[in-house]
A and B are shown apart, each in its own frame.
Chain A
Amino acid sequence: MKARVFALLVTAVAVIALSAPASAAAAPHRTSLTAIEYEVMCPICGTLLALSDSPQAQREKVFIAGLIAAGKTKAQVKDALVSEYGDTVLALPKGSGFDLSAYLVPVIGFVIATIALAVGVTRWKRAARPPGSGPPGSSGPSPDDAERLNADLARYDL
């Protein structure tokens, strides 16, 4: 049983690790407006920059494009935006300090839920099995049930 729970845990961790964004491993040297505008906000509109065409959003896009043309990385562009608009310009929480909890809590929650599910399923299966019964497949209907079943089948036999 413990081995099965352990296997489930290992599978869950592997799934999480494989589904992590591939961009984390990529070198952040070159970036684009498209890559950034889905990760920052239009502060006055309260929406993702990519979703806004307001005059302020247009100026923000021009600002970002200028920094990209100057060879700035995505992190440098974001830092520049934060110095202009403050932290609220970031659509994604930072990966440090208290904001790190925004990333950790869902993962921890998923792991806890997986463990709870595994334990729950195991207990449920154990409770559903009658005491003293053999492995699944070895138990058939009782003689009384078999007799009644045969009688019913004979009655409907054409």
Chain B
Amino acid sequence: MSARAFASFLAVLAVVGLLTYGLVSKGSSGVSLGEPAPTAVLPRLQGAGSSSLAAYRGSWILVNFWASWCGPCRQEAPALESFQRAHRGRGFTVVGIDTRDLSGDGRDFVREFGLSYPQLRDGDGNAAHEFGTTGVPENFLVDPGGKLRLLLHGPVTDDYLKQYVAPLLPGARS
């Protein structure tokens, strides 16, 4: 093989390698039922510091991805707050993740609906991508072991929370 042919081969190999890397790095994301939920460290929406979903290990958490500009998120917020008030402190909490949103708008949203559950911020949408969300709102119920038990692509309602989430929580009648 001549030097020129070898150089051409290397160039083609490099291009193919770059294309493959691009495809792999943009590969599918998301988590399926029974799999460990992502535990990215995210800044708090209100106040300083950051937190991770791993910090809630040992409790059931309902991870709610939302954004202030999202209409369905406004519809479900009262149901989430009501459910949180009914079940908090009993091995359960809702964790809101404000995704691809302006932090000021997100804080206004929390004030407007009087949301009392923890709120994290996912400005670049990486956490939402790790969960495999395709929009907002989306909800993921994570068990005390950190595994995904329920997911809902869309807004939750009082009925959904009572019918599917409440029976799984500690103290629920079987």
Contacts and interface: CB of A to CB of B under 8 A. Distances in A.
Interface stretch (B11-19, B98-106, B162-170): B98-106
A157 to B, nearest CB: 55
SS of B interface (majority) = loop
Chain B contact residues (Cβ within 8 angstroms of A): what range?
A: 10 to 19
A59 B68 contact: yes
Interface residues of A, number: 16
Interface of B: 67-71, 100-105, 123-126
A44 B134 CA distance: 10
A86 B68 contact: no
A87 B123 CA distance: 10
B102 A84 contact: yes
A62 to B, nearest CB: 9
B101 A56 contact: yes
Interface of A: 43-44, 54-56, 58-60, 63, 83-89
Contacts of B125: 43-44, 85-86, 88
A-B pairs, 7 with minimum CB distance: A86-B124, A55-B69, A56-B69, A43-B100, A44-B100, A85-B123, A59-B69
